[in-house]
């Protein structure tokens, strides 16, 4: 199962009643963003939008713009072609728990997993639709040739420093190990042939960049847009450094990804994508990037970031330009992040078997707020879990973690806040630690580092300095009374 193109994914959305076509001309300067923001704020994330006549600098673009294509739980399942996101989580759990089979059914399930893993490996092909149209730039694009300015790239917010590519799948390679990485890093358009490359200091693209800078070598970078939406999902997923996003994408869609070589640089990219930007980052070259209306709901300030130089643009003949906007939550990216947490919950549970459930509520914009429920057995276990989470990959950025007991639904924010208020003595039940902070967080005194706070809102056990009296019991009606009232109410309906 796999979408052969981004267009096929949009067809599937349309058939499912999840896509709205906008036939009137709409300007890519703020107006598509304003329209999409209203849609993203509607209940459940609204619909995906396909702007058929985007306007760029007063002219109709040849490429339609698709936005909010993953901005609901339903569309996330359609993007990953699963009935339920938990299906992917269950497969990961199976692999994590795989043991030699003891009976036929166990053997069968292992065989199936093996086949999926086999299918996950990317394979190489010589040509693909992403190179149906090729524009090569020897040194600079020609004045009247095709350039970035021909694309319907959005200006998202009024005080943005320019137009930004927001769903760029950035492909890089570690020059030492050869390991591939794909991450989503925004790209500010500087001119026809140069953009910013906003890989933040903690991200794998930045680490690869550092290796090239140390060697004084030009870094090849390829950027893809579109194709099977699983690529974009895999690029945002906080996979450990060294785990190939395209292998992971192949595993999720149960079909390996076909890769074609780029035309001007030594990198391979998925053959079915809509647009490919080939180019390089020059060691040490930095340029002011921003401001940009960001995930945080605020503008991020101007800062120096590497510069990406284009050597070629290739695209499908019928390419569609995929994009998103970020801003005050909830936005499309909330649903992408939510799917990541649900898919990787088994990994967290493998490290911390006491974890029952976890969520990053939209108000926290990914890293600012984490709710986790645990099956608590011993004193200070909540602190152990919080310290552990702060040590795991991008969970290091979590500004506030609230730990509750297993009987609290972490997806019900009001229930979590009730437990937080009722079950804590602030001095006893909080901890403040130092850790790296999200580069986008404007609140810390210093950029990229800051304090993080954990709240233990679980019931207290002996040994947790709760000496007053017995920990009280949460109010609960008897099941008998509930059943009787159910029956009485049914009679009065
Ligand atoms: C819409 C969107 C835009 C993003 N923009 C950036 C960005 O500009 N810079 C960045 O470092 N991370 C950005 N991210 C987050 C990264 O894609 C994410 O942390 C990913 O796991 C990074 O991959 P890496 O660990 O392989 O570097 C963005 C995520 C989304 C969903």
Question: Which residue has the least CA distance to atom 31 on ligand 1?
Answer: 333
- Residue 291 Cα to ligand 1 midpoint, Å, equals 17
The per-residue pLDDT for 468 is: 73
Q: Measure 137 CA to ligand 1 centroid, in angstroms.
A: 28
In sequence order, what are the residues at sequence separation of 6 or more whose Cβ sits closer than 8 angstroms to the Cβ of residue 330?
40, 41, 45, 362
Tell me how far apart the alpha carbons of residues 291 and 301 are, in angstroms, rounded to a whole number. Answer: 5
Residue 199 CA, ligand 1 centroid: distance in Å: 7
- What confidence score (pLDDT) does residue 243 get? 84
Q: Please confirm whether the linkage preceding 330 is cis (ω < 30° from 0).
A: yes
What is the C-alpha end-to-end distance of the chain, expressed in Å? 47
Closest C-alpha residue for ligand 1 atom 20? 236
Q: What is the pLDDT of residue 242?
A: 80
* Span from the CA of 325 to the centroid of ligand 1 (angstroms): 13
Which atom of ligand 1 is found nearest the CA of 238? 21
Q: Of 192, 402, 376, 170, nearest to 276 (Cα)?
A: 170
Q: Rounded to whole angstroms, how far apart are CA atoms 392 and 396?
A: 6
432, 435, 437, 442: CA torsion to nearest 10? 50
Q: CA separation (Å) from 31 to 42, 52, 258, 298?
A: 17, 14, 36, 19
**Long-range residue pairs from 383-390, CB within 8 A, at least 24 positions apart, any chain:** 383/431, 383/454, 383/456, 385/352, 385/354, 385/355, 386/431, 386/454, 386/456, 387/433, 387/454, 388/351, 388/352, 389/348, 389/352, 390/433, 390/435, 390/452
The encoded tokens of residue 5 equal 């193109």
Nearest CA to ligand 1 atom 5: 185
Please give the helix or strand (H or E) that residue 292 lies within, else none. Answer: strand 292-293
Q: How far is the CA of 237 from the centre of ligand 1 (A)?
A: 8
SS3 421: helix
Q: Can you tell me which atom of ligand 1 is nearest the CA of 394?
A: 19
The tokens describing 107, both together, are 């053997």
In the structure encoding, which two tokens stand for residue 334, read together? Answer: 């909330």
How many CB atoms neighbour CB 41 within 10 A? 14
Which tokens hold the place of 387?
A: 């310290």
Structure tokens at 250: 């192949």
Nearest CA to ligand 1 atom 21: 238
274 close to 130: Cβ distance less than 8 angstroms: yes
The residue contributing the CA closest to ligand 1 atom 6 is 185
Q: Give the tokens for residue 27.
A: 């300007």
Distance 59 CA to ligand 1 centre (A): 31
Q: In a structure prediction context, what are the per-residue pLDDT tens digits for the chain, which is 493 residues long? A: 799 999 999 999 999 999 999 999 999 999 999 999 999 999 999 999 999 999 999 999 999 999 999 999 999 999 999 999 999 988 887 776 665 444 445 555 555 566 566 678 899 999 999 999 999 987 555 555 889 999 999 999 999 999 999 999 999 999 999 999 999 999 999 999 999 999 999 999 999 999 999 999 999 999 999 999 999 999 999 888 888 899 999 989 989 999 999 999 999 999 999 999 999 999 899 999 999 999 999 999 999 999 999 999 999 999 999 999 999 999 999 999 999 999 999 889 988 999 999 999 999 988 999 999 999 999 999 999 999 999 999 999 999 999 999 999 999 999 999 999 999 999 999 999 999 999 999 999 999 999 999 999 999 999 998 877 788 999 999 999 999 999 999 999 8
Choosing from 160, 184, 187 the residue with most ligand 1 atoms within 8 A of its CB, the one to mutate for a pocket test is: 184
What letter does residue 243 receive in the DSSP assignment? S
DSSP-assigned beta bridge partners for residue 374: 355, 405
User: Closest ligand 1 atom, CA of 203?
Assistant: 27
Residue nearest ligand 1's atom 13 by CA: 185
Q: What global pTM score does this model have?
A: 0.93
What is the pLDDT at residue 109? 57
Angle, to 10 degrees, between the axis of helix 229-236 and the axis of helix 73-80? 110
Smallest CA separation from ligand 1 atom 18, residue = 236
- Could you tell me if 54 and 65 are in contact, meaning their C-beta atoms sit under 8 angstroms apart? yes
Q: What DSSP assignment string belongs to 125-172?
A: -S--GGGSEEEE-SSS--TTS--GGGS-PPB-STT-SS-EE-S-EEEE
Which helix H or strand E contains 389, and what residues bound it? helix 381-390
Label the pairing between strands 400-405 and 449-456: parallel
Whether 321 contacts 51, CB under 8 Å: no
Q: Find the DSSP H helices in 16-103.
A: 31-40, 73-80, 85-97
Yes or no: say if 175 and 208 are a contact pair by the CB < 8 Å rule. Answer: yes
Active site residues: 294
For residue 46 the two structure tokens come to: 């609204």
Contact residues of ligand 1, CB 6 A cut-off = 166, 181, 183-186, 198-200, 203-205, 236-238, 324, 326, 333, 336, 394
| Other CB atoms within 10 Å distance of the CB of residue 482 | 11
Residues constituting the chain: 493
Q: Which atom of ligand 1 is nearest to the CA of 200?
A: 11
Atom of ligand 1 nearest to the CA of 207: 27
Strands 430-436 and 258-261: unpaired
Q: What pLDDT is stored for residue 142 in this prediction?
A: 57
Residue 145 CA to ligand 1 center (angstroms) comes to: 31
């Amino acid at each position: 199962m796999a979408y052969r193109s981004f267009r096929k994914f949009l067809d599937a959305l349309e058939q499912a009643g999840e896509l709205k076509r906008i036939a009137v001309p709409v300007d890519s300067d703020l107006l598509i963003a304003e329209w999409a923001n209203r849609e993203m704020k509607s209940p459940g994330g609204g619909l995906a939008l396909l702007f058929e006549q985007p306007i760029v600098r007063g002219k109709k673009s040849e490429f339609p713009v698709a936005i909010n294509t993953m901005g609901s739980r339903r569309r996330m399942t359609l993007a990953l072609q699963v009935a339920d996101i938990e299906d992917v989580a269950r497969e990961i759990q199976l692999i994590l728990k795989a043991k030699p089979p003891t009976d036929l059914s166990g053997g069968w399930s292992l065989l199936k997993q093996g086949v999926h893993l086999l299918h996950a490996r990317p394979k190489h092909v010589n040509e693909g639709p992403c190179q149906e149209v090729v524009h090569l730039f020897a040194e600079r694009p020609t004045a009247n040739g095709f350039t970035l300015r021909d694309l319907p790239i959005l200006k998202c917010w009024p005080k943005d420093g320019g137009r930004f590519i927001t769903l760029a799948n950035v492909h890089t390679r570690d020059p030492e190990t050869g390991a591939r990485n794909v991450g989503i890093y925004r790209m500010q358009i500087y001119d026809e042939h140069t953009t910013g490359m906003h890989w933040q200091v903690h991200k794998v693209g930045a680490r690869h960049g550092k290796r090239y800078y140390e060697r004084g070598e030009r870094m090849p970078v390829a950027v893809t847009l579109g194709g099977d939406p699983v690529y974009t999902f895999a690029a945002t997923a906080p996979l450990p450094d060294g785990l190939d996003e395209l292998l992971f994408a192949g595993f999720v869609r149960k079909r390996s990804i076909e890769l074609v070589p780029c035309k001007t640089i030594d990198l391979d990219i998925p053959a079915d994508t809509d647009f490919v930007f080939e180019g390089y980052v020059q060691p040490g070259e930095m340029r002011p990037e921003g401001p940009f209306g960001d995930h945080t709901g605020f503008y991020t300030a101007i800062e120096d970031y590497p510069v990406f130089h284009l050597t070629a643009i290739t695209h499908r003949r019928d390419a569609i330009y995929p994009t998103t906007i970020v801003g005050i939550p909830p936005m499309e990216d909330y649903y992408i992040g939510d799917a990541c947490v649900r898919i990787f919950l088994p990994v967290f549970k493998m490290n911390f078997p006491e974890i029952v459930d976890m969520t990053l509520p939209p108000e926290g914009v990914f890293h600012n707020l984490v709710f986790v429920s645990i099956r608590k057995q011993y004193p200070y276990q909540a602190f152990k879990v919080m310290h552990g989470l702060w040590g795991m990959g991008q969970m290091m950025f979590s500004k506030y973690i609230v730990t509750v007991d297993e009987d609290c639904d972490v997806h019900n924010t009001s229930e979590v806040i009730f437990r937080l208020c009722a079950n804590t003595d602030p001095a006893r039940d909080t901890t403040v630690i130092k850790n790296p902070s999200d580069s986008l967080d404007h609140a810390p005194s210093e950029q990229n580092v800051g304090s993080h706070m954990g709240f233990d809102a679980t019931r207290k056990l002996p040994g947790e300095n709760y000496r007053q009296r017995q920990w009280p019991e949460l109010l609960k009606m008897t099941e008998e009374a509930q059943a009787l009232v159910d029956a009485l109410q049914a009679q009065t309906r």
